[in-house]
Structure 1
């Protein structure tokens, strides 16, 4: 009788747990963000067609997890992914979707996508490939959102319907059994990379218009197929842009629209900001305002709680390196090339040329020394006032030349400047993109102070 009683109670208990989880998820206070992405670099040495994660407290500056290494890799299909998407489901857990592609040779006729389940993104289970259609077309950039009126999730993706490139949709409750595919968005011209943000009862779709190469934002009050009206004029930064991501701030009525460059040789993220997503007023953000993960491509951004952020950091770990971003050339980072220190545009190969271990100063542990990640044992040091990457010979002269004191940034106190240990009137600065130490102070001209100001980031 006891066994029967427990068995009878199990559905009730399960329902109570499910309801409690859904209520806690809906009532959660999101104070951080998680980004999912794959990686590409100009010469392909930094390519990784797997799921990577990063976290951010402000939604703009990102810290890669797991040393920017993969956290999940497909084992079926083409055994690689592009265009991952992370959705928080109605029960508060997550599902991850991704294009089933590996490398830069595209299979145009792949009918499947990769799918994982995850409780809190610290592990990934139930890996599977899910078939979306039987058409002779692709299934690129899958994305999903909840449709309350249907009590189902919509899975949208880029495909060709025989006439043009459109967004298709399948409806599902479990991301296993997919409904019949149908056209979701066909504005009469080719489109790519749809991303839906649900804000209250309004659905916003960002997409790329392949006819003019620009990004747009559209709106629907129902989220139903072919119900979206475009709100914005075309947006573009750089020579080419794709993969829009529409994100709402956790703390204000601010919206961000992200996009990344089309070419891996110029894998740069761009961003816009607006306080009125229903209008046509987007302002481009200066790259000083944001720092995406190294080599990240076609990302997804999802709000998370502080506890979830802590769990992700505890599980995957923080980077054991930093990057130094120039204040007045924010698209450039400190790197070594032929053992000479300079600031160069991102992206760059080898990737590790721009990664540094900030260790206690070799001459004074209260200071800092910069050890190369890919040439361990070599440090930035000044020689005739120019900065070089040299091996530590453990002399007092080397230790002094390689030690600097971190101070508030001379041009921006929220950033950093680095004063020489043995030439205390001189700071690291760039000149002609090369690094050196020059006499500087708070009274120096603004350009010189900007040259000597850097953001310690990832």
Structure 2
């Protein structure tokens, strides 16, 4: 992956082979924004339940469920995109008999007190659905090549179906999160939390049930709450989890707690009434879920890591379908400090937003396909565009809508619209722009019309236009954007 500041050139040719660009941009009064980060999806084929851990040694470590359910694999790279082509090591294989002999699921890798730990779920060779949680430990600097020790099963209050162990630290205390079937509750799995004990494979104290799948979107196909993961930002703990069957119904829910609250108390958490990340037929992404979080290479952006499929219809049991893929995209933040995951973006280069230089917080969006400038855009995807090679060819770029693939930002009688490509040469030139260093100066970009040189994308009176540069500071400010 390429990671570099925005290059100030007269013309930037967007290469089809470009994997990613990190653009470092600053502007007055807009400290809430983070730089644009771009990756290419999918990151890894046939890898479900992905977990990416960024370590202090400069590497990202990636593990996930292999579709054969028979081993634990691990990759590392110095960039997130680099994980796509990084060599993969098998660090552990299932037992031939007894415990840990089947259904090797959902590994997570963590670095705790100077050692590596992998949490995973496994069934028995003679009872594949007797699934419980287990832990591996390694003291090697490089966990891909070092030896691993089996630390055994995580003991919980009930000897029942349990999986998806994860761990986090809040206010100096380490907790274990997991999913389990509790006796007396007619669900496949609920979410639980407990403090960690003397070591990373032992819990201590009270076990607390955090949520039970009861809402319609949590119970499609199966009554499921699983795959918990915690993101800590803005004075709050955000706990995502996966719900419903592992087909196109799979989705993410959210629990929220104050950072100062005791996360081991169920009363500390509030459940969002609706899912926060769901299937998008428009982008051909189905059943997004079982996520984790990491950070971008510059440390400025939170990255959502998840799996989904590129098709809705599955033949047979979804668990036997091998084609869940690992994907990544940026987490955006609303003005109230809560995360906005948007929609699962199309395959290919991840999108950016065009934030106004002179109206901090406002972004270019489409509304009934007319382009306008607006703050706090809902839905988020209305303001996300893929920067792709220009429809007219070399030396230009085009902006493709995220939630309407095949639709592009174009000018029509100098009004800016987001419209479907019709195959005409006129459309292609109207939807192609030369990417310039921003008219307002450092840290901005401006988009000059390919067929009307000297005309730039700018906002005026809340709408977006393509108009001639009149040389005024007002025009320069309204025609300059920050990529987020």
Matches within 5 A, 1:286-365: 294-295=285-286, 296-304=288-296, 306-307=298-299, 309=301, 318-319=350-351, 354-355=404-405, 357-364=407-414
Which residue of the partner structure matches residue 435 of structure 2? none
| Residue 154 (structure 2) pairs with residue 180 (structure 1) | no
Which residue of the partner structure matches residue 419 of structure 2? 371
What TM-score comes out, normalization by structure 1 length? 0.52
**What is the number of equivalent residue pairs in this alignment?**
304
Aligned-residue offset at 1:330: 6.6
User: Bigger CA drift: 169-178 or 287-296?
Assistant: 287-296
Specify the SS of the correspondent of 2:102.
coil
| Residue 92 (structure 2) pairs with residue 131 (structure 1) | yes
Q: Deviations over 1:343-399 (max 9, x none)?
A: xxxxxxxx98743644133222xx432234xxx3279xxxxxxxxxxx9799xxxxx
Cα 1:288/1:418, change in 2 over 3 Å: farther
Cα 1:278/1:310, change in 2 over 3 Å: closer
Match of 2:47 among 70, 81, 87: 81
Aligned-residue offset at 1:98: 1.1
Aligned equivalents of 2:377 and 2:120: distance in 1? Answer: 39
Tell me, yes or no, if the aligned pair for 2:366 and 2:418 is still in contact at 8 Å. Answer: no
Tell me, yes or no, if the aligned pair for 2:248 and 2:279 is still in contact at 8 Å. Answer: no
Q: Deviations over 1:218-250 (max 9, x none)?
A: 322444323244223434342244443332323
Specify the SS of the correspondent of 1:139.
strand
Specify the SS of the correspondent of 1:120.
coil
Aligned equivalents of 2:151 and 2:407: distance in 1? Answer: 50
User: Bigger CA drift: 270-279 or 180-189?
Assistant: 180-189
Tell me, yes or no, if the aligned pair for 1:120 and 1:308 is still in contact at 8 Å. Answer: no
Aligned equivalents of 1:273 and 1:63: distance in 2? Answer: 26
Aligned equivalents of 1:71 and 1:98: distance in 2? Answer: 12
Cα 1:86/1:288, change in 2 over 3 Å: closer
Which residue of the partner structure matches residue 285 of structure 1? 272
Specify the SS of the correspondent of 1:188.
coil
| Residue 80 (structure 2) pairs with residue 121 (structure 1) | yes
Cα 1:197/1:369, change in 2 over 3 Å: same
Cα 1:64/1:298, change in 2 over 3 Å: farther
Aligned equivalents of 2:89 and 2:411: distance in 1? Answer: 49
Cα 1:154/1:113, change in 2 over 3 Å: same
Matches within 5 A, 1:26-425: 65-67=38-40, 69-73=41-45, 80-101=46-67, 107=68, 110=70, 112-124=71-83, 125-135=86-96, 136-148=101-113, 151-161=114-124, 164-174=130-140, 175=143, 176=145, 177-186=147-156, 187-199=158-170, 201-211=172-182, 212=187, 213-228=189-204, 229-236=206-213, 237=215, 238=217, 239=219, 240-275=223-258, 276=261, 277-281=263-267, 282-285=269-272, 294-295=285-286, 296-304=288-296, 306-307=298-299, 309=301, 318-319=350-351, 354-355=404-405, 357-364=407-414, 367-372=415-420, 376-377=421-422
Tell me, yes or no, if the aligned pair for 1:359 and 1:371 is still in contact at 8 Å. Answer: yes
Alignment gaps of 5+ in structure 2: 1-19, 24-29, 304-327, 330-347, 354-363, 369-375, 384-400, 430-457, 466-483
Aligned-residue offset at 1:260: 4.3
Aligned equivalents of 1:283 and 1:198: distance in 2? Answer: 19
- Give 1 or 2: higher helix fraction: 1
Cα 1:318/1:147, change in 2 over 3 Å: closer
Specify the SS of the correspondent of 2:248.
helix
Q: Which runs of structure 1 show a deviation greater than 6 angstroms over 4 or more consecutive aligned residues?
A: 61-64, 288-293, 310-313, 320-334, 391-394, 405-408, 417-420
Specify the SS of the correspondent of 1:123.
helix
CA RMSD of aligned residues (A): 5.1
Aligned-residue offset at 1:267: 3.4
Tell me, yes or no, if the aligned pair for 2:176 and 2:194 is still in contact at 8 Å. Answer: yes
Aligned equivalents of 1:310 and 1:267: distance in 2? Answer: 22
Cα 1:280/1:90, change in 2 over 3 Å: same
